[in-house]
Every structure is written in C-alpha cells, then in structure tokens.
Amino acid sequence: MPPDPRFATTPDPPYWVVIFTSRRNGQDPEGYERMATAMADLAPRQPGYLGIESTRDAEGVGITLSYWASEQAIHDWKRVAAHQEAQRRGHSTWYADFVTRVAKVERAYTMATSARAGL
C-alpha cells in the first residue's frame, strides 16, 4: 500500500511538534480556506519542516500537528510575515478559541511497528 497522504512521514525521534487545537467560529469560510491553502503551500518550504497532519470535525473543532526538526525552525516559521498575517486573522476573525502547544517528540510507533512489538 502507498503511504496514507494524510499522515506525515517523520524521521526517528527526537523532533518537535506544534500542536494547534482550535474551534472555528464559522466566519469567513472562503478567506479561511484560502489562507489555509496558502500556509499549507508555504510551510513545506521552511527550513526544518518535517510534515503536517490536520483534521477538523463537523462541529468546527480541529487539531493541526506540524512537525519540525528543531525549536529554531518553529521560532523562524512563527515569524514568517505571511504566517504572522495568518495568525493575526485567525485571532481576529476565524477562531472562537485556540491553544498552541510546543512539544518535543521522544518516541513514535506506527501501526506496523506496534504489530512487530506485540503492542
């Protein structure tokens, strides 16, 4: 089977993850989608980008995980001008609430490696 395109292909740990939990307020769906597409195109061009996983349910609650090689890469991405504009509009227009967490991934198991390990 080819890899699932919704899953990120990350290296062996350690690496870093930005965990973004949010609830959309339903406002400006077209502007939001346009920005989401622009950021999905831009992020992979940043140094240290490793991949992204994202999902949102019918209630508007979403979780986006972006994976990075270092804290510095996260720091630099946060300060890219187009991304700062996305953050501003997220705050002012698109989200009812959000939390951002920065974490260091220490261990990872796939479905295949769990099988080999007998869970």
Binding site for its own copies (CB under 8 A): 4, 6-8, 13, 17, 19, 21, 23, 53-59, 61-63, 65, 84, 87-88, 91, 95-111, 114-115, 119
Closest approach of Cβ 12 to its own copies, in Å? 11
Q: Which is nearer to its own copies, 30 or 58 (CB)?
A: 58
Per-residue CA distances from 14 to 63, 72, 93 (Å): 21, 14, 35
What is the residue type of 115?
A: A
**What would the two tokens of residue 28 be?**
């400006």
Contacts of 95 (CB under 8 A, 6+ apart): 22, 23, 24, 25
Q: Which is nearer to its own copies, 31 or 84 (CB)?
A: 84
Q: Which is nearer to its own copies, 82 or 102 (CB)?
A: 102
Closest approach of Cβ 102 to its own copies, in Å? 4
Residue 20 burial (CB count, 10 A) = 17
